[in-house]
Amino acid sequence: MTLEQASPLNLVGTEPEAIFHFRIGVVVTLVVLLSGLLGLLIYAALFGPGFEAASSDPVWAVVLIILLCGILLPFVWILWRKPIVMRVGSAGLHLPFAFKRPLRWEDIHRFRLASQGALIYGRRQWLIIDPAPGVLAPIRLKSWQRLDLWFQKHHGVRIPLHGLDSDFDTVIQSIEHYRPVDR
């Protein structure tokens, strides 16, 4: 394990920049489960007792295999590329999958932590960003601007900390370098 993998804080000049990735264990589990399902589907299509070569079964088997491969490919891409999920730096907070550009620190009213009770996979930690009044976070998804403003005003922008490769204390510390977080 390299030093860069062990600590998400990378020094760029004098300003620390924290980079966080997906939690790989969850993605590996999904790839294994979907691959097993794909293998079972191929086995059933080729060696199943109800398989008739004269019917349209082979066509539907190929269609299902293509669809399952299409579902599997994004998870394999995440494993292969290991894209950045969140970047915390002097420019602001950037979520490349959600934001077009970084949300500047002065455009953020406050940060809150919220946790969800213990589920099958344990406690879920969420970081909620409340943008400053009248500021619309640069969401990548195109939608009606009034709806975005209303939703962000009442619910904020939610970031699942349980999906990041680092524990939530490290994420909170990197954000608290710039702004306080209400716990």
Count CB-CB contacts under 10 A for residue 66: 9
The pTM for the full model equals 0.62
Burial of 156 (0-12, 13-18, 19+ CB in 10 A): buried
Return the pLDDT at 108.
Answer: 87
Return the pLDDT at 10.
Answer: 45
Three-state SS at 83: coil
Phi-psi domain of 98 (left: phi exceeds 0; alpha: psi -120 through 50; beta: other) = alpha
Return the pLDDT at 6.
Answer: 40
Contact by Cβ (8 Å): 157, 131: yes
Return the pLDDT at 5.
Answer: 45
Angle between helix 57-81 and 24-47 (nearest 10)? 160
Q: Is the dihedral of CA 17, 22, 25, 28 positive or negative?
A: negative
pLDDT digit string (tens) for 101-160?
Answer: 888 999 888 898 888 766 666 677 888 888 887 777 777 667 666 676 677 777 778 888
CA distances from 63 to 35, 38, 96, 128, 166 (A): 16, 12, 33, 41, 39
pLDDT digit string (tens) for 53-111?
Answer: 667 767 777 887 888 888 888 878 877 777 778 899 888 888 887 788 888 999 888 89
Q: What one-character DSSP code corresponds to residue 33? A: H
What's the chain's length in residues?
Answer: 183
pLDDT exceeds cutoff 80 at 177: yes
**Which segments of 48-108 does DSSP mark as H helices, in order?**
57-81
- Of all residues in the chain, the percent with pLDDT exceeding 70 is 78
pLDDT exceeds cutoff 50 at 7: no
